[in-house]
């Protein structure tokens, strides 16, 4: 999915390190994640945060991902990407505890 | 004098009141005999109950959040609590009282409050000062346990034939290289000289 011609498999310790970074970042960013989720709950009254987040998300996808891929096109489609984004944000918000590393790992293995 | 411990996460707080088990040489500030618990969600009615209700309610939230993420229909039903999704953003919680003539308490919470509640329960689980007896297997509703077993059985039945079919396809596809259409035409010519 990424704009990369190198197709190396990720090593298990690199995978663990990425999960640790993600969990630490989610702990730090939890108030923002929460606000994005909240703004989507009441989109009529509070749509600014959600729209800003979605715009930036699409910008980053276009910048770093292979936009010719069908899966990436799904992520770019604003009508379809809501569910994927909400579920990803929920997973991050559930993993901010001290056991968050193990929780996120379990979520990813079950995905 | 009872100990009181509070766990906070944004708009949700969980309060645990109880005593240490001195017979088990526990510290003064520990709680292992819980006498009361209160779950406060901003702008929602206070949730409190008996000690035996705390673990099933926590499990209900954990199981429901897992179902929500795993693309399955997020419904949790038990004698004590029902949680259903209105849509991807709003969740309906029905708390049923064990007392007769008490109407069930209905709550609507969004994803933000759901994640706050889960994080409060996580803090409680990870707190070294509170010891809650873990008995997850008995708390999983029978309906759900059956569902899980059924799923495992289904995969056990489905996976061997799936691999068998795949291996047959792979094996038979290798014969494409041995097939020679010219030989077949020659044979046909021999059998039908006309």
Q: What are phi and psi of A101, to 5 degrees?
A: -60, -50
Ranges of each domain in chain B:
3-134, 143-191
* Inter-chain CB proximity A97 and B119 less than 8 Å: yes
pLDDT at position B187 is 66
> Which B residues 89-148 touch A at CB under 8 Å?
89-90, 110-112, 114-116, 118-119, 122-123, 125-126
pLDDT of A28 higher than 90: yes
Q: Are B109 and B91 in contact (CB under 8 A)?
A: yes
pLDDT at position A110 is 77
Q: Are A92 and A19 in contact (CB under 8 A)?
A: no
Q: Are B60 and B76 in contact (CB under 8 A)?
A: yes
Q: Are A2 and A63 in contact (CB under 8 A)?
A: no
Residues of B in contact with A38 (CB under 8 A): 110-112
pLDDT at position A95 is 94
* Inter-chain CB proximity B110 and A87 less than 8 Å: no
> Which A residues 17-46 touch B at CB under 8 Å?
31, 33-35, 37-38, 40-42
* Inter-chain CB proximity A40 and B123 less than 8 Å: no
* Inter-chain CB proximity B88 and A38 less than 8 Å: no
Which tens digits make up the pLDDT trace of A56-80?
999 998 888 888 888 888 888 888 8
Q: Tell me what the mean pLDDT of segment A26-36 comes to.
A: 95
The maximal CA–CA distance of chain B, rounded, in angstroms, is 110
Please, what is the average pLDDT of chain B? 80
Which of B110, B119, B122 minimises the CB distance to A41? B110
* Inter-chain CB proximity B126 and A98 less than 8 Å: yes
Which tens digits make up the pLDDT trace of B56-66?
999 999 999 99
Residues of B in contact with A34 (CB under 8 A): 10, 112, 115-116
* Inter-chain CB proximity B69 and A94 less than 8 Å: yes
Burial A7-32 (b: 16+ CB within 10 A, else e): eeeeeeeeeeeebeebbeebeeebee
Bridge pairing between strands B81-85 and B90-95: antiparallel
* ipTM for the assembly: 0.89
**pLDDT band per the 50, 70, 90 thresholds, residue B146:** very low
Q: What are phi and psi of B47, to 5 degrees?
A: -110, 120
* Inter-chain CB proximity A93 and B115 less than 8 Å: yes
């Amino acid at each position: 999915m990424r704009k990369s011609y190198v197709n190396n498999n990720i090593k298990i310790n690199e995978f663990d390190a990425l999960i640790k970074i993600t969990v630490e970042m989610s702990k730090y960013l939890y108030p923002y994640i929460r606000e994005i989720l909240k703004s989507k709950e009441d989109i009529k009254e509070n749509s600014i945060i959600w729209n800003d987040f979605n715009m930036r998300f699409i910008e980053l996808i276009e910048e770093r991902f292979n936009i010719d891929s069908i899966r990436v096109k799904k992520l770019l489609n604003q009508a379809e990407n809501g569910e994927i984004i909400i579920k990803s944000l929920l997973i991050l918000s559930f993993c901010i505890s001290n056991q968050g590393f193990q929780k996120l790992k379990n979520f990813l293995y079950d995905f | 004098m009872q100990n009181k411990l509070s766990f906070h996460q944004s708009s949700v707080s969980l309060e645990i009141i109880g005593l240490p088990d001195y017979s088990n040489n526990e510290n003064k500030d520990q709680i292992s005999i819980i006498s009361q618990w209160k779950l406060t969600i901003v702008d929602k009615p206070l949730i409190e109950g008996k000690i035996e209700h705390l673990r099933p309610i926590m499990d209900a939230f954990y199981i429901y959040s897992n179902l929500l993420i795993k693309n399955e229909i997020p419904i949790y039903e038990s004698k004590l609590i029902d949680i259903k999704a209105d849509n991807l953003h709003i969740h309906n919680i029905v708390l049923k009282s064990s007392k007769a003539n008490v109407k069930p308490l209905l709550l609507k919470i969004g994803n933000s409050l759901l994640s706050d509640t889960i994080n409060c329960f996580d803090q409680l689980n990870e707190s070294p000062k509170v010891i809650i007896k873990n008995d997850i297997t008995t708390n999983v509703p029978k309906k759900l346990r059956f569902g899980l077993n059924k799923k495992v059985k289904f995969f056990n039945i489905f996976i061997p034939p799936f691999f068998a079919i795949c291996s047959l396809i792979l094996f038979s596809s290798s014969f494409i290289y041995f097939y020679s259409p010219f030989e077949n035409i020659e044979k046909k010519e021999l059998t039908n000289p006309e």
